[in-house]
Amino acid sequence: MILENVELALKALKSNKMRALLTMLGIIIGIMSIITIIIIGDAMTGYVTDSMSALGVNNITVRLQERGRNQSNLPMMNPAFDQRSVRSRSGDSPTSADLISNQMINQMREHFDEDLMGVSLSQQGGNARVQDGEVSANVSVTGTNADYFIANNITLLAGRLTTQDDLRENAATVVVSDRLAGRMFPLVPNDGVIGRQVKLYRPRAIEIFTIIGVYEHELNPMIAGMVAEEDISTPFFIPVTTAKQDMLEKNYDTVTAIGKPGVDIEQLTMSLQGYFDGLYRDNTSWRVNVTNTASMVDTFTDILNRISLAIAFIAGISLLVGGIGVMNIMLVSVTERTREIGTRKALGAKNFHIQFQFVTEALIIALIGGIIGMILGITVGAAVTVLFEMPLVISPLMVVGSMLFSMCVGIFFGLYPANKAAKLDPIEALRYE
């Protein structure tokens, strides 16, 4: 009986192709929207998670913040590119005594020597331009120490990193990107530019730096599509003491501690928090907030998942419209086939048989619409992820779930027309014109 009802449903759809397609349209759009949103949401979650994990899962951000201020516990994604000044609610900035001093940093290194691989220091130096004749390249000057490269997983291709001697001497040395090296010295390999000098043009000065290293620059694909090749800016890493030598303030509002492999990062985070709470116990205005990258990744992933589910739920409302369309067309079908229903009942068909016939037809409509919507949704979602170079994730659970959801919509909205057809009086149905 099941195969017979499926065959009857397919014949009914085939005889009214356009009407069937229009009926399925709501189901198609609903399923396509849900799947597309879920795929894009999963891709964004994967992309953000990978990007943030690339910053270092063992990174612990130590940041000054005002006491009692309701601030996010999320650390900055990259302190070198987020040097917003720390201010209180009254607009006052912390004094030098409030900031994290070099003495505190050295004490922290000694106290947690068995747990810490290093401490990353950074200072944003603003945008500038490296130029030699007509050849130029945009850069963002960033003062760093050697541990900064570990914290940010930056790969050194040639030469060396900033040393303690460079820091002590406020040396005019720089580690440049392979992109800048290739632009300024197009015919020279990376190791061949070591020792060469470049002129850095700032708004108020021209400085000469000696290249000591070349690192691999990984360009964000989203930025690549929006910025012309010649306008792309790369970090220009100089010693952090050199970046600060013209500044009155030598202390820091943010540093990044790097845990050794195998260390319990959550426990180390709590230990560092307790350590700085002790150092700042007499400071009534400012304290230090310690957070780790792992908790930040989990928080962002949870936020993105919630947003994706909320948008998918909103998109799912269109399935209600599709379901109403299915109910409407099934009611029309019941009216058109009243005499057929009467004939089947007169020949001995029970109410269950009539119900099953029309529910099957509604189910087939929803199932075909769901399959088409699923194919379109996966296609559109895959196209978007490829366009923005994000990881494509197609969950089997999502595919099965969307099909089951589509079938449930067909059954739910097909029950009322099916019950109406089953309750028809056979005599009145046979007399229906």
* 3-state SS string for 254-290: EEEEEECCCCCHHHHHHHHHHHHHHHCCCCCCEEEEE
Short-list 407, 413, 321, 320, CA closest to 366:
407
30 vs 38: CA distance, rounded Å: 12
- C-beta of residue 31 within 8 angstroms of C-beta of residue 371: no
DSSP lists the bridge partners of residue 116 as 259
256 vs 291: CA distance, rounded Å: 10
Q: Is the pLDDT of residue 235 over 60?
A: yes
- C-beta of residue 196 within 8 angstroms of C-beta of residue 159: no
Between the CA atoms of 220, 221, 227 and 231, what dihedral angle is there, to the nearest 10 degrees?
A: 50
Span of 167-181, 217-231, 272-286 with lowest mean pLDDT: 217-231
Spans of all domains in the chain: 2-50+300-430, 59-293
DSSP state of 100: B
Cα angle for residues 80, 85, 89 (degrees, 5° grid): 145
- The confidence band for 80, taking pLDDT boundaries of 50, 70 and 90, is very low
Mean pLDDT in residue range 16-28: 86
pLDDT on residue 314: 80
- The confidence band for 2, taking pLDDT boundaries of 50, 70 and 90, is confident
- The confidence band for 138, taking pLDDT boundaries of 50, 70 and 90, is very high
Mean pLDDT in residue range 363-381: 91
- Over the stretch 343-365, which tens digit does the pLDDT of each residue have? 888 888 888 888 888 888 888 88
Q: Is the pLDDT of residue 310 over 80?
A: yes
Span of 188-202, 252-266, 413-427 with lowest mean pLDDT: 413-427
- Over the stretch 244-257, which tens digit does the pLDDT of each residue have? 988 888 899 999 99
In Å, what is the CA distance from 422 to each residue of 67, 179, 334, 417, 427? 71, 74, 10, 9, 13
Q: Is the pLDDT of residue 95 over 60?
A: yes
Mean pLDDT in residue range 37-50: 83
Tokens 């199932």 locate to: 367
> What does the mean pLDDT of the chain come to?
85
Residue percentage of the chain with pLDDT more than 90: 40
360 vs 352: CA distance, rounded Å: 12
Q: Is the pLDDT of residue 75 over 70?
A: no
Short-list 116, 417, 51, CA closest to 259:
116
The SS3 call for residue 20 is helix
pLDDT on residue 176: 96
122 CB neighbour count, 10 Å cutoff: 27
Q: Could you tell me the two tokens for 415?
A: 């029950």
pLDDT on residue 81: 41
Mean pLDDT in residue range 268-273: 94
The SS3 call for residue 219 is coil
